[in-house]
């Protein structure tokens, strides 16, 4: 796996495709209906509903473009990990901070699936970059605003 490539899981791809279909279908239609209604109210220069709907339309089109770009440029990977003892996209990594007995578990994901509350970190984050390609037993360190931090990889699955 190439660390500079954008990755998404099959589940995320399906989720984005569903969202895209909804945005291009019902959501886009609703905004067009709202625009027609706002135009019927008269003077567009002082029509707050018209301006709000145009802003909503811009956000919708921006999201559509972003999803299309993600789907075109991302490589789909299995969400089950790399299957080996080397850290890659989908790997579950157990790490232990230097001078600490407490261990933490993280899942390495592409940047579109990051969720710190679930322990899902990007392969492009400083920590993800430090872990990427390493094996069980290796030590990694990376810079944070508070200074350098070191971890030992306890397990990779």
The yes/no answer on whether domain 7-76 falls in CATH 1.10.287.180 is yes
pLDDT of residue 77: 83
The answer to whether the CB of 91 falls within 8 A of the CB of 132 is no
pLDDT of residue 56: 96
Q: Where are the beta strands (DSSP E) in the chain?
A: 7-9, 75-77, 92-97, 103-109, 120-122, 139-144, 147-156
Write the CB contacts of 28 (distance below 8 Å, at least 6 apart in sequence): 60, 64
Give bridge partners of residue 138 from the DSSP assignment: none
Report the distance separating Cα 11 and Cα 72, nearest Å: 16
Taking the chain (157 residues) in runs of 10, the rounded mean pLDDT of each run is 75 94 97 92 86 95 96 81 75 92 92 92 92 93 91 93
Among the residues of the chain, which ranges form H helices? 10-22, 28-40, 48-73, 126-131
pLDDT of residue 1: 61
Where do the domains of the chain lie?
Answer: 7-76, 79-156
pLDDT of residue 36: 93
Tokens 């984005």 map to which residue? 16
Domain made up of 79-156: CATH architecture = Roll (3.10)
Report the distance separating Cα 41 and Cα 29, nearest Å: 19
pLDDT of residue 68: 96
């Amino acid at each position: 796996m190439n660390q500079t490539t954008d990755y998404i899981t099959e589940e995320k791809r399906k989720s984005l495709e569903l969202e895209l279909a909804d945005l291009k279908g019902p959501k886009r239609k609703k905004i067009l209906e709202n625009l027609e209604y706002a135009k019927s109210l008269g003077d567009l220069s002082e029509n707050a509903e018209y301006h709000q709907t145009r802003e909503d339309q811009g956000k919708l089109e921006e999201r559509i473009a972003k999803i299309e770009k993600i789907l075109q440029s991302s490589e789909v990977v299995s969400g089950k990990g790399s299957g080996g003892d080397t850290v890659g996209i989908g790997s579950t990594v157990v790490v232990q901070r230097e001078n600490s007995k407490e261990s933490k578990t993280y899942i390495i994901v592409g940047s579109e699936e990051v969720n710190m509350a679930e322990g899902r970190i990007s392969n492009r984050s400083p920590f993800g970059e430090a872990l990427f390609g390493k094996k069980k037993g290796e030590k990694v360190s990376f810079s944070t605003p508070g200074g350098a931090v070191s971890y030992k990889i306890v397990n990779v699955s």
